[in-house]
Structure 1
Amino acid sequence: MTASQVRMSGCPDCGGRVTEDPKRGEFACTACGTIVQERLLDHGPEWTAHDANEYETKARVGPPITETLHDRGLSTVIDWRNKDAHGNALSARKRRQMHRLRTWNIRSQTSDSQKQYRKQGLAEIDRMAAALGLPTDVRETASVTFRRAHDHGIVTGRSIESVAAASLHIGAAMAGLFRTLDEIETVARVNRTRIARAKRAINAEFDLPIEPGRPVAYLDRFGSQLELDADALRMSRRILETAPDEYLGSGASPVAIAAAALYLADDLTGGRSVSQRAVSETCGVCIATIQTHHPRLRDGYRLAHSS
């Protein structure tokens, strides 16, 4: 199994999240500590480079295998520069020959519709992840999810864009970098309804170990967008800490609770720098929802600090 597949499968004992420890060469569960896989091979080079020139000199192979490419980066790549190994320009006859070889090389990589579908879907994931600023490991996980959905026929009857967007949403959640469907919709080429349907189909098929996002996971990102100071962010965390667990897990949207906590924190710290409308537009929740959660969080915070 690849590293992405081990992470997606989860812990066999408790179903918790699995992370890699490269120093020990093993995959372990963060919840119960079970060693899922050990004695991993080090696929890195046996040499060490201290600068770019030394790296260029010692490197003997191409880029590593990646799930973000339809061929995992293993196909042949013909350089677009019409020069030989010594840097000399090719003759006109050789240039025409290399042009034909490049054309057939590209065609051979996507020789059937299934490969073309996968290539387009993975390119869509890479585009959306770049627009949202998501890291490489999220793209890898999303690509593995898309590949599995494609292999199991989940993509049948659905658009490439909806399955790719749903895979990216799942990949971000598995990495703890939660993104709302509204944020995914802003960079996707389909609406959130189709993304949500594709996500439900993927979850139903694979039963992925994805926990719903906690409100605290959204505080830093939305607080930064609202330009709240450090005192307000610390206050928002204290507000959520005093909120009852049964209220946070009552089925209410974690984004809505986070939005109400940020607005209340700004009010309690005396900032008053953001309005309900600004919080509503930034977090993607309506003002009425913020007004619903605001008094509950305020009363819980006052009750916790009055005793």
Structure 2
Amino acid sequence: MATSNAITQVVSPAQRAASEQDSPDARVEHGPASRSQCPECDGDVVTQDEESFCADCGVIVAAEWVDRSPTLVDLGMVGDASKSIETVNPLRTDKGLHTKFSLGTDGYGNSLSDPQRRKFRRLRKRHRRYQFGAQRKRTKRLNEGLRDVEMIGGNLALPDHVVETAAKYLREASAARLPGGRMAWESLAGGAVLLAARTSGLTRSDIDVAIAANAKATHERVCAAARKIRCGCGVDAPPVRPNATQAVVDALDDALRGGDAVRIWRMARQLLTLGDDVPVGPGTPRLTVAAAAVYAADRLTSGKSLTQQQVADAASTVVPTTKSKIARYNCKLVDAYVARHGTEDPNVVLEREPAAPA
């Protein structure tokens, strides 16, 4: 229970008398608002329900309120009501057990004796077991990732709802077992913040660069992590780079001209959308997959005017991309296209109405 700032309100004598008749058990408040006397007439201050008022003039000195937000018990996380004082925060994994045990001194700064030191060592061991539960190692890594999310949000002054959404995405990634291999927790933390920023509609054009600068991972890995969370967890969020194919085609301006450029762009856009649905290369930046889609589109159409190195160089102007990635993902995209439509004929999708830019 917390006490709000003092609220001054005059109550009529008739209302005061009716209130006293309804509640004769009104008691004297010894310090409702750091005083026991009325600030107006020096009369006695009494408390009834959630208000403290003067018994003489009726001025309301203070009003109390009760925090009724859901507790750990309400959400089924703790069974004992005595342990459900604090509300749930998505940035916390330890169920509110933030106490830290020190083996050097007690609460007053005095040195511990040997029996006390052994006692504190046992208490700290039990505390760590309760703090992170059965899967302690994985929960500790999740806790470190959530701290990274909070750090990035604080450095960039992001709104609280963006940081909490990023924490939710990181928890979903942990439940889906996305960390592992080249996808580190630090990359997932940055990717979760980037995905949450896009979901919330932040209009900063350099948000991905700013997040990568504050994350413990490179720009490439942060973009790859954002795509892996979006594809691997089925997050209903817009892609980090909605115009990825357009960026690659623009960088290939010297190699693509006229109608061929339009056909390749339209075909690559459809392949990239298919690559997001399958997904193809979920742990790879979307621009890299878009570059592979542009090369695959050039192979499927009648042009065949691009090389893998040209496409890799064009994509590397934004995100580092290699020729081997273009070769690998271009084959996967073509296989996904054949599996979806039963043919390699590009006219199956080119004759349709073009979809939204990808």
> Do Structure 1 and Structure 2 share a fold, with TM-score over 0.5?
no
Smaller-chain TM-score bracket: 0.3 to 0.5
Q: Report the structure number with the largest CA radius of gyration.
A: 2
- The normalised TM-score by structure 1 is 0.44
- The normalised TM-score by structure 2 is 0.39
